[in-house]
Structure 1
Amino acid sequence: MKNIFAKIATMTATSAALTVAIAAGANNPAQAIDFKFDWLGNAGYSASGSFSYDETTAPTIISESGSGATNFLQSLNVSFSDPSNNPLGTYNTVTAGVSESDFFAFNFDTSTQSLFGSLNVGGGTGVIGEYFFSGTVGDSLFLRQDVDQQGTSITLDQNSGSIHVYQIPEPASVLGLLVFGVLGVGSTLKKKQASC
């Protein structure tokens, strides 16, 4: 009997936590939407990263460039790896709505959820040897390494401009999975009680 009361108490606590989470989401209409992107060059170098923006205020086309406060982008980071999957560097190109790179370029269509046009992310903060990822989506994208901070760089890899962008599951989806899990626990308890 104690075991049943403990399970009921656990279910009640979980339900209460879910109710609080749903209420908090309803009271906060600003909703950050997160995306990831992956790129693979012809020689096996790769780039992967993520970016976010507030979907309640963003226009259909988000275009950002240069250093300073961004218009809509809240964050953007990118990591680079060599063909053996050894990390080359990670860069927070945009943090809390501010770009640190003079060379930053980013264009995203929120309706098609795709990058387009000029792209330049990664380094750009004045450190010799930093990596950066640039070019034109759908044409040519390059992974380069700065040599002297005077405009000289070496190309490590490139591809035909192909880059994969995908949305990270929304908080509502995760919440739905939690609710589904609670319902599953309740169903299991009912089955156990029926068999006793």
Structure 2
Amino acid sequence: MKNIFAKIAMIAATSTAFSVAIAAGANNPAQAVDFNFNWKGDAGYSAVGSFSYDEATAPTIISESGSGATNFLQSFNVSFLDPSKNLLKTSNTVNGGVSQSKFFAFNFDTSTQTLFGRLDIGGGTGVIGEYFFDGTVGDSLQLRQDVNQKGTSTLVDQNSGFIQVSKVPEPASILGLLAFGMLSVGSTLKKK
């Protein structure tokens, strides 16, 4: 009797997972894709964040700069941390497809899923003490702090230009993996 209830529970859970995955796809025709990134400087400071764009309309190369409406980015945020992982500053540079920073510079290759070229993120409002991230991917990336609102800043940390980018798994993919795991558990229980 227990095996029948276990089978029914597995079938119900799997059906629910697939139904949710299908409904999520049907209710969201835009193909938003999310990425996380992280950078670590030579002195242990770090920058972590995420960005998203509509995968269905984005070109192979996404280049954004300045303030105002973006061409393809829907969101971009970054947090700066000290070597002890204490939060220094969080900045939502792009929100709802609008950049808040006149200094913003972003270049991303959607086919290789890599950042490249000039990168200037965070800050941008000219506040004394504000942190921002500036440089060229593959050459030198620096975490800097504004000193006087007139273009003078101090170097906080830097590295050789390495920044890691990873795609965030889609919810439907996660649900599929969960359903597969539930089926595996069910078959293991059946054997016992």
Q: Do they superpose with TM above 0.5?
A: yes
| CA spacing shift, 1:164–1:191, aligned 2, 3 Å | same
The separation in 1 between residues aligned to 2:80 and 2:18, in whole angstroms, is: 40
Aligned to 1:11: 10
Structure of greater relative contact order (alpha carbons < 8 Å, 6+ residues apart): 2
Aligned to 2:186: 186
1:179 match: secondary structure: helix
Aligned to 2:88: 88
Counterpart amino acid of residue 21 in structure 1: V
| CA spacing shift, 1:39–1:121, aligned 2, 3 Å | same
TM-score, normalization by structure 1:
0.88
Give, in angstroms, the shift of residue 143 of structure 1. Answer: 0.5
Alignment of 1:92-171 (within 5 A): 92-171=92-171
Comparing 76-85 and 15-24, the one that deviates more: 15-24
Alignment of 1:49-60 (within 5 A): 49-60=49-60
Give, in angstroms, the shift of residue 93 of structure 1. Answer: 1.1
Give, in angstroms, the shift of residue 111 of structure 1. Answer: 0.8
Which residues of structure 2 form unaligned runs of 5+? none
TM-score, normalization by structure 2:
0.90
The separation in 1 between residues aligned to 2:15 and 2:173, in whole angstroms, is: 18
Counterpart amino acid of residue 165 in structure 1: V
Comparing 56-65 and 120-129, the one that deviates more: 120-129
The separation in 1 between residues aligned to 2:119 and 2:80, in whole angstroms, is: 15
The separation in 2 between residues aligned to 1:181 and 1:33, in whole angstroms, is: 25
Give, in angstroms, the shift of residue 84 of structure 1. Answer: 2.5
The separation in 2 between residues aligned to 1:161 and 1:103, in whole angstroms, is: 19
Say which one has the larger Rg: 1
| CA spacing shift, 1:26–1:43, aligned 2, 3 Å | closer
**Does the 8 Å CA contact 2:21/2:171 hold for their aligned counterparts?**
no
Give, in angstroms, the shift of residue 71 of structure 1. Answer: 1.0
Give, in angstroms, the shift of residue 87 of structure 1. Answer: 1.8
Give the fraction of aligned pairs with identical amino acids, expressed as a percent.
69
Give, in angstroms, the shift of residue 183 of structure 1. Answer: 0.7
**Does the 8 Å CA contact 2:73/2:97 hold for their aligned counterparts?**
yes
Give, in angstroms, the shift of residue 109 of structure 1. Answer: 0.5
Measured on the aligned residues, the alpha-carbon RMSD in Å equals 1.9
Q: Give the paired residue count.
A: 191
Give, in angstroms, the shift of residue 6 of structure 1. Answer: 4.6
Give, in angstroms, the shift of residue 108 of structure 1. Answer: 0.3
Counterpart amino acid of residue 84 in structure 1: S
